[in-house]
Structure 1
Amino acid sequence: MSRNIWNWQSKEWPHFSYDEDALNALELQFSKNIGTVLGAFRHVSDDQREQFIIEILSNEALKTSEIEGEYLDRDSIQSSIKRNLGLSVDKKRVPPAEFGISEMMVDLYRNYSDTLTHELLFDWHKMLTNGRRDLIDIGTYRTHEDPMQVVSGRLDRPTVHFEAPPSDEMQKEMGQFVDWFNQVHTQGNDTLLPLAKAGIAHLYFVSIHPFEDGNGRIARALAEKSISLSIGQPALITLSKTIEVHKNAYYDALANNNRTCNITDWLLYFGQTILDAQEDTLKLIDFIIEKAKFFDRYSKQINERQLKVVDRLFAAGPQGFLGGLSAENYTRIAKTSASTATRDLKDLLDKGILLKTGSLKGTRYWLNFYG
């Protein structure tokens, strides 16, 4: 046990405190952004809304896993998301990890308003650990006697970043957590504003670290559930995607707030992250609207090879291919020759569908959304 006190060892635990005035501006902007997102949705067709939901849930499944160093297959996740949503998909086999995280994300989306229970958390854990054979406790809180530590560095000289409460306290700690979560999210309970609820839910849960593995992913899901309960509909924000972009800042914020129950700094960080995720959601809505306009404008002007490549570019999302599309990429995606790829790319440039940067082997192509 570290001689330094952890938050759960302090006399204030589990009662977190923070400077409400410091959060006021973020809470106000959060409310404004909710209205903006709802307004943007009014311009989205049913088909576009379906695409948006699939894109959001797929991104979150991928990125919440990447934060933990687990890199999954996007196509398998999208296929699994569609299957779990009851949409028609091909019959290809989806690996257990991709299926499990997708199942959890769809459950979070569909059943956000359900009361939080131990059984719900156990179900999420079973989904997350689908196919795992290396864990002792699956679908239940941890029972091992060894300390639950977050560590890095060499095996013989690890750096302990955090040590959670011992396993024999899990029933008590999680009983308090579940009661707290349900109480603060009771309709009409305005003792905490939305960003504070979501931020505390994440930090409180991850400080208990009740499962043998998967605690970070479930903590982020609980933050999204909290936001959904606060606004009365699925949050559908790119929270994990936004966190993953600056993953080190996320881990630093957690490390800087695991020794105290005064968590103003954490809530400022997490609140701003939620606002950034809302902004990213708005960009994704705009992207899907522009995608529909794009195909209305150009689908009859391009051949099947070009359509296949453009589809793949759109599948990469608003950011496009990392580093842009190369002629080699085009040849591989379209399954064609280099000379045909060159002609196709020139045609796409001439029609204003693609933009070009660089030269020679450094030439890269990008979708011209507003061409």
Structure 2
Amino acid sequence: MRWNWQQPDWPAFTFDPAPLAALEARLLHESGRLFGAFAHLDETEQRRLTIDCIGDEALMTARIEGEYLDRDSLQSSLLCQFGLAYDERRVPPAEAGMAELMVDLYRRFQAPLSHDTLRAWQAMLMRGRSDLDEVGCYRRRAEPMQVVSGAVYAPRVHFEAPPAALVPAEMERFLAWFEHTAPAGAGALPPLTRAGLAHLYFVSIHPFEDGNGRIARAIAEKALAQGLGQPTLAALSHCIERHKKAYYAALQRANKGDPVDDWLNYFARTTLDALDYSRARVGLLIVKARLYDRLKGQLNPRQEKVLARLFAAGPEGFRGGLSAENYIALTRTSRATATRDLQDLVAKGALTRSGERKHTRYALQVPATPGQGSDSMALFSYRRIAPHGDRRSRLTVKVRSQAILA
């Protein structure tokens, strides 16, 4: 017996809930901070951030599988799906299908999971594909469904799913388990635990010819949203994609049998990292709104363009920091003008300066509220740490802002 579904006790996943308790508590705390930060935004900003977050997750969940969608087309389709705009451009089928799935997931997170829902999601993801025989239905081919890598003449099998003949019964059992472990179910599980197990359970069955990974992550998002009572807008796929090898390695270990503590620990920490990243995005948007309000009418077009580029870089920041050379390249201006513009932004409290000469770099800053001391300042940061103690993949990005998200 090589795979988890071949074990005698399948699908009775075994794990120790004690180490997860602290992570479950952190989920409730961090999600509360995210929802609280979100409330600081006005309705227009909330709507824009929601679409941006959904769009980024759609791009990243596809990218994990090696599919690169067009951002503009996806955003256009999302705006249409939410009824916020009508764009006459022709959106490619892949982007339109992904947008439809993400909006359905966002709007109907409380709805029960069903065969029809899963089949519809897969059909959305496969829209425009002509290379598949089985779209919008569970696989029926007798050939083994394998996850492989390497050369054709020497393939490496990472996983083999249950035979197609077993899929209908396995999916019936999976859906019953998902309902049983729901917040109102008889065997309710904490959100992180349920979401992690749901992802692993579904992807182990691998019921579709293609799209299983993307649907597994959508199911995990649904489980988290049901556990928290609202869509999380957590950047789960964003954080998974940043450490894709760790994701596949954790899945590969879990696919070989119980216990699944390692997978649940990986999934929980990645989800918490995703919440942290999303909260940093909200904080950055608040910083942007306050900065623009304070400097209204005081910025020239070049300065506005560069500040917009800094904010667009998101919580991970401008790669390598903003230098005078970056400013010149972005604005196509002279060095003397760039120097004056940057010095002016520092004087206005929009940027801080560090380093000297060719090592001079600039970063965003928002000053303390008038009448308050520097103690009112907080270091708002996003820290991404690779799973399983990979210290080489450590990134800390810091933006100075008022202590509004504590």
Q: Secondary structure at the match of 1:300?
A: coil
User: Which residue identity lines up with residue 153 of structure 2 in the other structure?
Assistant: D
Q: Deviations over 1:22-78 (max 9, x none)?
A: 211111222222322233233222122112212211111111111111222222222
Of residues 59, 84, 90 in structure 1, which corresponds to 2:81?
Answer: 84
Give 1:227-242 correspondences, 5 Å limit: 227-242=224-239
Of residues 195, 216, 220 in structure 1, which corresponds to 2:217?
Answer: 220
Question: Could you tell me which residue of structure 2 aligns to residue 145 of structure 1?
Answer: 142
Give 1:148-227 correspondences, 5 Å limit: 148-185=145-182, 187=184, 189=186, 191-227=188-224
Question: Could you tell me which residue of structure 1 aligns to residue 125 of structure 2?
Answer: 128
Of residues 318, 334, 337 in structure 2, which corresponds to 1:343?
Answer: 337
Q: Deviations over 1:135-182 (max 9, x none)?
A: 111111112222111111111101101000111221111111111112
User: Which residue identity lines up with residue 139 of structure 2 in the other structure?
Assistant: R
Q: CA deviation at 1:312?
A: 4.0
Q: CA deviation at 1:234?
A: 1.1
Unpaired runs of at least 5, structure 1: none
Q: Secondary structure at the match of 2:84?
A: coil
Report the structure, 1 or 2, having the larger helix content.
1
Percent identical across equivalent pairs? Answer: 48
Q: Secondary structure at the match of 1:351?
A: helix
- Runs of 4+ displaced beyond 6 Å: 326-333, 356-360, 362-365
1:201 and 1:222 in contact (8 A); partners too: yes
Structure 2 CA distance for partners of 1:364 and 1:102, relative to 1, 3 Å = farther
1:349 and 1:355 in contact (8 A); partners too: no
Q: What is the CA–CA distance in structure 2 between the aligned matches of 1:229 and 1:120, rounded to whole Å?
A: 16
Structure 2 CA distance for partners of 1:7 and 1:90, relative to 1, 3 Å = same
Of residues 45, 49, 52 in structure 2, which corresponds to 1:48?
Answer: 45
Is 2:301 the counterpart of 1:307? no
Of residues 99, 112, 117 in structure 1, which corresponds to 2:114?
Answer: 117
Is 2:245 the counterpart of 1:248? yes
Structure 2 CA distance for partners of 1:301 and 1:90, relative to 1, 3 Å = farther
Structure 2 CA distance for partners of 1:354 and 1:34, relative to 1, 3 Å = closer
2:327 and 2:338 in contact (8 A); partners too: no
User: Which residue identity lines up with residue 370 of structure 1 in the other structure?
Assistant: V
Q: What is the CA–CA distance in structure 1 between the aligned matches of 2:361 and 2:91, rounded to whole Å?
A: 31
Q: What TM-score do the two structures reach when normalised by structure 2?
A: 0.82
Is 2:264 the counterpart of 1:264? no
User: Which residue identity lines up with residue 105 of structure 2 in the other structure?
Assistant: L
Q: What is the CA–CA distance in structure 2 between the aligned matches of 1:190 and 1:345, rounded to whole Å?
A: 63
Q: What is the CA–CA distance in structure 1 between the aligned matches of 2:91 and 2:328, rounded to whole Å?
A: 27
User: Which residue identity lines up with residue 92 of structure 1 in the other structure?
Assistant: R
Structure 2 CA distance for partners of 1:369 and 1:355, relative to 1, 3 Å = closer
Q: What is the CA–CA distance in structure 2 between the aligned matches of 1:143 and 1:167, rounded to whole Å?
A: 5
Question: Could you tell me which residue of structure 2 aligns to residue 368 of structure 1?
Answer: 364
Unpaired runs of at least 5, structure 2: 368-406
Q: Deviations over 1:168-209 (max 9, x none)?
A: 221111111111112211515454211111011000000011
Structure 2 CA distance for partners of 1:152 and 1:192, relative to 1, 3 Å = same
Q: CA deviation at 1:257?
A: 0.8
Question: Could you tell me which residue of structure 1 aligns to residue 384 of structure 2?
Answer: none
Structure 2 CA distance for partners of 1:358 and 1:206, relative to 1, 3 Å = farther
Moved more, 203-212 or 272-281: 272-281
Q: Secondary structure at the match of 2:156?
A: strand
Structure 2 CA distance for partners of 1:51 and 1:348, relative to 1, 3 Å = farther
Alignment size in residue pairs: 364
Is 2:122 the counterpart of 1:108? no
Q: What is the CA–CA distance in structure 1 between the aligned matches of 2:322 and 2:74, rounded to whole Å?
A: 23
Q: What is the CA–CA distance in structure 1 between the aligned matches of 2:13 and 2:333, rounded to whole Å?
A: 64
User: Which residue identity lines up with residue 195 of structure 1 in the other structure?
Assistant: L
Is 2:271 the counterpart of 1:281? no
Structure 2 CA distance for partners of 1:110 and 1:145, relative to 1, 3 Å = same
User: Which residue identity lines up with residue 286 of structure 1 in the other structure?
Assistant: G
Of structures 1 and 2, the one with the larger relative CO (CA 8 A, separation 6+) is: 1
Of residues 34, 39, 43 in structure 2, which corresponds to 1:37?
Answer: 34
1:13 and 1:261 in contact (8 A); partners too: no
Q: What is the CA–CA distance in structure 2 between the aligned matches of 1:95 and 1:332, rounded to whole Å?
A: 33
Question: Could you tell me which residue of structure 1 aligns to residue 289 of structure 2?
Answer: 292
1:243 and 1:250 in contact (8 A); partners too: yes
1:291 and 1:369 in contact (8 A); partners too: no
2:179 and 2:185 in contact (8 A); partners too: no
